[in-house]
Amino acid sequence: MCKPTYYRVEYSINPWMNPSENPVDRTLAMYQWNSLRLAIETAGAIIDVMEPHGGEHLPDMVFAANAAIIRGKKAYLANFQCVERKNERHFYKKWLQAHGYETFGSMDYAFEGEGDARWVGRNQSKLVCGVGARTDARIISDLKDKMKTDSQDFKAIALKLVDPRFYHLETCFCPLAEDLALWYPDAFDSVAQHNLKQEMEMVPISEADATKFACDAVVVGKNVILNKGADDTGKTLQRLGFIPNFVDLSEFIKGGGSSKNLALTLTM
Ligand code: ARG
């Protein structure tokens, strides 16, 4: 996770951001970020904290999951589509290298890290990718090439995102286990909807909960840490044998992100 020291809504690169009418309360944002960190740690995960760089010039750096996708000790870096976030790459690259990750990446096509790419299947045998909004499908062949290992290849599944409110895969798709996920189906085109259902058991959530970022959730074992207010999804999670843990992330919703997007998944 990256500290929200400089986080604010200063520009608008997604429909949730409205700098003049919905500014961020930074003190509250810091409090909420710390609450999220505590909730993830309490669920049993270890958090590494990165100091933000670029100061006031990179206010979105707090959304760490956009930095890269990780597989073992390999990190495939983002090539941010939005010019406002492009310089984050350099700082994340340095951090990942300093922490023992071999970094890859392409500057040819846009790619926004774990925001648009989630591992599913046994031993990360599949990579689900959201394309068409922030990530260009043409990045996938290089990503596959660099992230496969001699012993293990994986299948990449590109899914077209069609609703501007759900501009990252993480906003509308939440893997709960190897073959089980929450999703907001209407965020995907019909081909993507069909293809995803072939891969795993998909549990839909309502539009009301999707717009509370219920899919943008951190999953640690059976614990699911999500923005407060998505009560129906909480019930669905309980029915599936999971434990919902709600954290108020109102200040980050103003930036168009929530729980999962604030934490990049690393492997030890
Ligand atoms: N303001 C950031 C952006 O638009 C927020 C990113 C949040 N991403 C997410 N997957 N929820 O890039």
ipTM score assigned to the predicted complex: 0.96
Pairing label, strands 180-183, 173-177: antiparallel
For residue 252, the model assigns a pLDDT of: 98
Q: What sign does the CA torsion over 195, 212, 163, 29 have? A: negative
pTM passes above 0.95 = yes
Q: Which amino acid is at 196?
A: L
For residue 54, the model assigns a pLDDT of: 84
CA angle 101, 80, 15 (to 5 degrees): 130
CA-closest candidate to residue 214, choices 179, 166, 180, 255: 166
For residue 151, the model assigns a pLDDT of: 79
The stretch 103-132 carries a mean pLDDT of: 97
Tell which atom from ligand 1 comes closest to the C-alpha of 9: 1
Ligand 1 site-directed mutation target among 62, 79, 168, most atoms within 8 Å of CB: 168
Spatial neighbors of 157 by CB under 8 A, at least 6 apart, are 126, 127, 128, 129, 195, 196, 199
For residue 152, the model assigns a pLDDT of: 84
Rounded Cα–Cα distance for residues 171 and 162 (Å) = 12
SS3 174: strand
* Banded pLDDT at 150 (limits 50, 70, 90): confident
Ligand 1 site-directed mutation target among 60, 128, 249, 258, most atoms within 8 Å of CB: 60
For the chain, give the percent of residues with pLDDT over 90. 96
User: Which residues sit with their C-beta closer than 6 Å to ligand 1?
Assistant: 13-14, 17, 60, 63, 66, 85, 115, 168, 170-171, 216, 255-258, 261
* pLDDT above 80: residue 133: yes
For residue 268, the model assigns a pLDDT of: 73
* pLDDT above 80: residue 129: yes
For residue 5, the model assigns a pLDDT of: 97
